[in-house]
Amino acid sequence: MRQQREGSQAVAEAVALCRPDVVSAYPISPQTHIVEHLSRLVLSGSLPGCTYLNVESEFASMSTLIGASATGARSYTATASQGLLFMAEAVFNAAGLGLPMVMTVANRAIGAPINIWNDQGDSMAMRDCGWVQLYAADNQEAVDLHVMAFRLADELELPVMVCMDGFVLTHAFEEVELPTQEQVDAVLPPPPTRPVLDPAAPVTIGAMVGPEAYTEVRYLADRRHRDALRLLPLVAADYARATGRDAAGLVRTYSCEGADTVVVALGSVLGTLSDVVDQRDVGERVGVLGLTCYRPFPADAVRAAVRSARRIVVVERSLALGEDGPVAADVARALAGSGRSVSTVVCGLGGRPVTSAVLHRLLDRVARDDLPQRLFLDLDRDVVDREMQRTAALARRAEEVRS
Amino acid sequence: MVDVRIHGRGGQGVVTTAEVLALACFVEGRHAQAVPSFGSERTGAPVAAFVRVSDQPIRSHDPVEEPDIVVVQDATLLSLPSVVAGLRPGGRLLVNTHRSLPAAVLAATAGRTVTTVSASAIATRCVGRDVPGPAMLGALAAVTGVVLVDSVIAAVQDRLAGRSTAGNVAAVTEAFETTLAAVGGEARASAT
């Protein structure tokens, strides 16, 4: 049914349709509305049999989910920013132990400086933790990806992170079509049997592994993780069949066929980018490539999508200090040796809106063939220059005092 | 596409006003998106929210920078230049006040249509509290073609169910009728 809903509420409803056994919750902006709405659903009796755990921290939240999933429970939590970093040790363990669960990350900048607004620095810091990472372009996709994430988690026996831009999506009140319970049940059967902790039939999960086998265990974990590249398109096709709605697979392409330039991005900027591309001269031939699946990295799908393009522009919503942006590095590796130029464009950090005007400025530079390999698109150069002058003056003053 | 920006103060229901407007447009079978601007959740601090309305599905998620309509729930905010910034020529400024607007505001909005409505007084009378949002939307329905007053009422009944619903509906109706009478048969067919 089509509804006008807040993104967080729509996601909570979608999670509820997946019949979770355990929801572990610790509030942090901009995620809080999701677990709040789930708590209301549990309290109202719409989620019979679901245990809702109020825990004392994000670390406890992830740790309780590890326990819950190890007993076979379908498990869910949501977090953001410092919360994700605080649970980091347990996040890696959940993946290493091969425990299916789903976590929403309402993308938010990480400190310092403390900042509650949206960028993707938090989930990017966890990109190599072994979780499958999916990024929603809008709230419809956020809803759909959560259902697919539970199915992926079950089939892969791996945890899956669904990332959605904090505030921009979580607090946007827009149209979504929630699947029916029957549609969700058709895509997501009850959790399959797997080895679980059960006092009646004891097994060990998470034994110590020494140098004699650690490499092999990690190699196999990597193989299993990469299997998401095969599985996600199949799950998306199942979901599309059940709901009659187009569902994202590994990537989403827009006007990429015959494009000269392809702009690569993740998350809510994709919609604005598509509108901006439509407003440009047809002659500019710009396409948009959205990475729905970021981990494992869909290198083959990226290569296929940019086939016709000479120039690739990667819009980064996070900054890897000392090394530009993580997404551009992955894209460049996927396209190594192909002769295409890959530019990194950093913008929208700490909640600075990526407006259509800013994106038009970017495409103006592309059209003029005036795009450096690395560009801070929305940087206020005056502020930076002033601060650098001030620091230099202070250093000179300190030097004078010393001599 | 019609772009609306709503200004008010924290605690004044700006986000709710945006959501009710979006819901009203959704009720009419159109596409709508309401997005708050964030960070100023403190009571009394300036707050803004954006609404996009379109006959096509809405893809963009950036803030509205050049609105067709600016709705101001607290007239004291008009001293901030950002409140009318970007208002398109031919656009509309709708202000909650029972006074005439300062000359500086009228100068800054030359070429735009300015409408005032005593939304706070109407809300205080109908709801018992200064919650001007629903009355502002009643006035908006009176002077623009963005939304029909019946859709605003339906959205108020849904989104504000159990929250002085009857009083808020009365405020919508009163503001709609007063504003319609005040503008005296101004054409309502145009988008802005």
Average pLDDT over residues B35-58: 88
Strands B69-72 and A75-79: unpaired
The predicted structure's pLDDT at residue A129: 97
Among B33, B62, B65, whose Cβ lies nearest the Cβ of A174?
B33
pLDDT score of B189 more than 70: no
- How far does A280 lie from chain B, in Å, by closest CA? 15
Query: Scanning every residue of chain A, which has its alpha carbon at the shortest distance from the alpha carbon of B64?
Result: A355
Residues in B closer than 8 angstroms to A167, CB to CB, are 36, 38
The predicted structure's pLDDT at residue B185: 57
- Asked if B61's CB is within 8 angstroms of A172's CB, the reply is yes
Strands A173-177 and B31-36: antiparallel
- Asked if A171's CB is within 8 angstroms of B62's CB, the reply is no
Average pLDDT over residues B23-44: 88
The predicted structure's pLDDT at residue A247: 87
- CA–CA dist A46, A52 (Å, integer): 12
Confidence tier at A309 by pLDDT (50, 70, 90): very high
- Asked if B35's CB is within 8 angstroms of A168's CB, the reply is yes
Give the distance, in angstroms, between the CA of residue A218 and the centroid of all CA atoms in the same chain. Answer: 23
Interface mutation target, options B6, B14, B27, B59, chain A, most CBs of A under 10 Å = B59
- CA–CA dist A124, A319 (Å, integer): 9
- Asked if B63's CB is within 8 angstroms of A353's CB, the reply is yes
Q: Are A42 and A50 in contact (CB under 8 A)?
A: yes
- Asked if A175's CB is within 8 angstroms of B31's CB, the reply is yes
How far the first Cα of chain A sits from its last, in Å, is 75
**Ordered domains of chain B (ranges, CATH):** 2-183 (3.40.920.10)
What's the 3-state SS for chain B? CEEEEEEEECCCCHHHHHHHHHHHHHHCCCEEEEEECCCCCCCCCEEEEEEEEECCCCCCCCCCCCCCEEEECCHHHHHCHHHCCCCCCCCEEEEECCCCCCHHHHHHCCCCEEEEECHHHHHHHHCCCCCCHHHHHHHHHHHCCCCCHHHHHHHHHHHCCCCCHHHHHHHHHHHHHHHHHHHCCCCCCCCC
Give the distance, in angstroms, between the CA of residue A202 and the centroid of all CA atoms in the same chain. Answer: 36
Query: Scanning every residue of chain B, which has its alpha carbon at the shortest distance from the alpha carbon of A353?
Result: B62
The predicted structure's pLDDT at residue B88: 97
Q: Which helix (H) or strand (E) holds A49?
A: none
Any idea what DSSP says for residue A284?
Answer: G
Q: Contacts by A2-5 with C-beta closer than 8 Å and gap 24+?
A: A2/A175, A2/A176, A2/A177, A3/A175, A3/A176, A3/A177, A3/A178, A4/A173, A4/A174, A4/A175, A4/B22, A4/B23, A4/B26, A4/B32, A5/A139, A5/A173, A5/A174, A5/A176, A5/A178
- Asked if B39's CB is within 8 angstroms of A351's CB, the reply is yes
Any idea what DSSP says for residue A213?
Answer: T
- How far does B110 lie from chain A, in Å, by closest CA? 24
Average pLDDT over residues A262-288: 96
- How far does B54 lie from chain A, in Å, by closest CA? 12
- How far does B138 lie from chain A, in Å, by closest CA? 20
- CA–CA dist A53, A255 (Å, integer): 45
The predicted structure's pLDDT at residue B39: 67
Confidence tier at B190 by pLDDT (50, 70, 90): very low
The predicted structure's pLDDT at residue B41: 66
pTM for the model: 0.96
- Asked if B57's CB is within 8 angstroms of A175's CB, the reply is yes
Q: Are A139 and B61 in contact (CB under 8 A)?
A: no
Interface of B with A (CB under 8 A): 18-19, 22-23, 26, 31-36, 38-39, 57-63, 65
Average pLDDT over residues A228-242: 97
Confidence tier at A265 by pLDDT (50, 70, 90): very high
- Asked if B61's CB is within 8 angstroms of A173's CB, the reply is no
pLDDT score of A279 more than 70: yes
pLDDT score of A182 more than 80: yes
At A70, list the tokens.
């190890």
Among B19, B38, B39, whose Cβ lies nearest the Cβ of A173?
B19
| Side chain identity, residue B144 | T
- Asked if B61's CB is within 8 angstroms of A272's CB, the reply is yes
The predicted structure's pLDDT at residue B40: 53
- How far does A165 lie from chain B, in Å, by closest CA? 10
Give the distance, in angstroms, between the CA of residue B9 and the centroid of all CA atoms in the same chain. Answer: 13
User: In 3D, which of A288, A40, A93, A248 has the Cα closest to residue A163?
Assistant: A248
The predicted structure's pLDDT at residue A26: 97
Average pLDDT over residues A339-362: 96
Q: Are A3 and A156 in contact (CB under 8 A)?
A: no
User: In 3D, which of A245, A268, A234 has the Cα closest to residue A348?
Assistant: A268
Strands A261-265 and A311-316: parallel
The predicted structure's pLDDT at residue B187: 45
- How far does B134 lie from chain A, in Å, by closest CA? 17
The predicted structure's pLDDT at residue A1: 81
Q: Are A116 and A107 in contact (CB under 8 A)?
A: no
Average pLDDT over residues B125-135: 96
**Ordered domains of chain A (ranges, CATH):** 2-243 (3.40.50.970), 252-381 (3.40.50.920)
Average pLDDT over residues A225-234: 98
pLDDT score of B156 more than 50: yes
The predicted structure's pLDDT at residue A248: 81
Residues A290-303 have pLDDT tens digits of 999 999 999 999 99
Q: Is A112 helix (H, G, I), strand (E, B) or coil?
A: coil
Contacts A–B by Cβ distance under 8 A: 67
Give helix B149-159 / helix B133-143 axis angle, nearest 10°: 160
DSSP secondary structure, A316-346, as one string: ESS--TTSS-HHHHHHHHHTTTS--EEEEEE
Of B37 and A285, more confident = A285
| Rg from Cα positions in chain B | 15
Omega before A112 cis (within 30°)?
A: yes
Instruction: Give chain B's mean pLDDT.
Output: 92
Average pLDDT over residues A70-91: 98
- How far does B182 lie from chain A, in Å, by closest CA? 33
Of A192 and B39, more confident = A192
- CA–CA dist A312, A318 (Å, integer): 18
Average pLDDT over residues B59-83: 95
pLDDT score of A271 more than 70: yes
ipTM for the predicted complex comes to 0.92
Residues B8-31 have pLDDT tens digits of 998 899 999 999 999 999 999 999
The predicted structure's pLDDT at residue B191: 41
- Asked if A354's CB is within 8 angstroms of B65's CB, the reply is no
- Asked if A272's CB is within 8 angstroms of B35's CB, the reply is no
Residues A95-139 have pLDDT tens digits of 999 999 999 999 999 999 999 999 999 999 999 999 999 999 999
- Residue at token pair 């970007």: B86
The CA distances from residue A78 to A41, A126, A386, B93, B184, in Å, are: 16, 14, 40, 40, 53
